Structure 1
Amino acid sequence: MSTKQQPVITNQGARTAIEAAEARAREIGVPMNIAIVDAACHLVAFSRMDGAKITSINIAIDKAFTAAGHRAPTSIYKENVWPGGPAFGIWNSNGGRFLTIAGGVPIMQDGIVVGAVGCSTGTPSQDEDVAKKGAEAVEKTLKVKANL
Structure 2
Amino acid sequence: MLLASLSGEGPSNGPVRFYAVPNIFFHKLEKTLSSSDVQSGTLTLFWKGFCESALPNRDCRLTLVDWLGHSWECNLQLGSNPHVTCQISGQWSDICKARRLTSGLVVKFGVTSSSNNRVLYFKVSPFIGVLTTLLGPTRDAKRKPFYQTEQYFML
Q: TM-score, normalised by structure 1?
A: 0.30
Q: Which has the higher helix share?
A: 1
Q: Which has the higher strand share?
A: 2
Q: TM-score, normalised by structure 2?
A: 0.29
